[in-house]
Amino acid sequence: MRRTPALIAGGGPAGSIAALLLAKGGTTPLVLERSREPQDALCGGFLSWRTLESLASVGIDPAMLGGHAVRRVVLFAGRGRAESPLPAPAIGLSRLRLDALLLAAARDAGAGVERGVTIRSAEGTTLHTGDGAAVTGETLFLATGKHDLRGTMRDAVVGDDPVMGVRVRLAQHPALTRLVGDAIELHAFAGGYAGLVLQEDGSANLCMAVRRSRLRGAGDLPGLLRVLADELPALGERLAHLGGTPAIDAIANVPYGWRARGTMPGVYRLGDQAGVIPSLAGEGMGIAIASAIRAAAHWQRCGPDGAHGFQHALRRRLHRPIALARLLRTLAEQPPTHALLLNGGRIPGLVGAAARWTRIDSVSTRSASRQ
């Protein structure tokens, strides 16, 4: 059995940032990542101004990311529209580029990175891989995103009408660029919502959170896209750029609104393994990166024994952002409340406050007061 002081399951943004900081601190962490090459993951595509600040704080220059500038939020509900500026510029950036850059930075800092490794299960701080091997760490940093790992399953209850996460990519086109511009768009509809933002290459990332009942009513995912294109004129204009047979990525039973109540000894849960914010807040990547920064700092002070304290503190910090995002999600999913959502979306001060209140800092108030 191989041993390492810090074992990281997952090489996405949370795992990479944790590895980067641990390596900079003098530890040699080991990252196990299932993909052999960088991939465009289902979730993500938007980095808020707060997330860019977090990245800058660990030495990742936002200017080198090369993302598409985002300055506005535009809300569509039925045939209504509301627009407001963001509190500060953000960017649209594909996970393909983001993940590759962050994992390369971790490797350059001295972290060990092994790709193409399938993790079958976890037992405490030991990971069992697909080839029958076992790797154990004094500490395990769990950064597997929305994908649960046997032995560390989240205790989330998905309910009778669970949510599916869906992602499609719209090809670059001048008309699409004119339609979306420097905005992140939110399209609200009965039983779900969609977020749309341009990426660094001019293509657009369309992510949806959809109740299973909507999918059943449409028959399948291509059918659901056709139904939504007919139901929502503005979304239909954008979906016209999908092409004939679009590639659709999906993940079932996403536990939006869940927060980890605790953890196992020596296991630090990061990103979606610590809390899953409804995606219309655009803070999934922010939570992944901020939780990794917080975890690395906490581990350097407290080591493996600090896992429980870290998890409880992070749960408290995630309460307000996730609670507010759940409220906004409820308004977006129910047509009777769309007028309320649109009216609020026309008040820049209110939109700015909601955007700020759904962000998470990478440094806790207690830690900042000691610096």
Sequence spans of domains, the chain = 2-157+255-370
Pair 205, 94: CB distance under 8 Å: yes
User: pTM here?
Assistant: 0.95
CA distance 359 to 353: 10
Would you state the pLDDT for residue 245?
67
For 199-293, strand residue ranges (E) read 204-211, 248-251, 267-269
Token pair for 311: 């998890």
Pair 202, 182: CB distance under 8 Å: no
Would you state the pLDDT for residue 369?
32
Token pair for 118: 């399938």
CA-nearest of 145, 143, 138 to 124 is: 138
The CATH architecture to which 2-157+255-370 belongs is 3-Layer(bba) Sandwich (3.50)
Would you state the pLDDT for residue 244?
67
Pair 278, 328: CB distance under 8 Å: yes
Cα atoms in the Cβ-side hemisphere of radius 13 Å centred on 361: 9
Three-state DSSP state, 143: coil
Backbone angles phi, psi at 259, to 5 degrees: -135, 140
E strand or H helix at 46: strand 46-47
Would you state the pLDDT for residue 324?
97
Backbone angles phi, psi at 276, to 5 degrees: -115, 105
Pair 288, 46: CB distance under 8 Å: no
CA distance 90 to 47: 6
Q: In the chain, which stretches have pLDDT less than 50?
A: 365-371
Q: Which amino acid is at 133?
A: A
Q: Which amino acid is at 310?
A: F
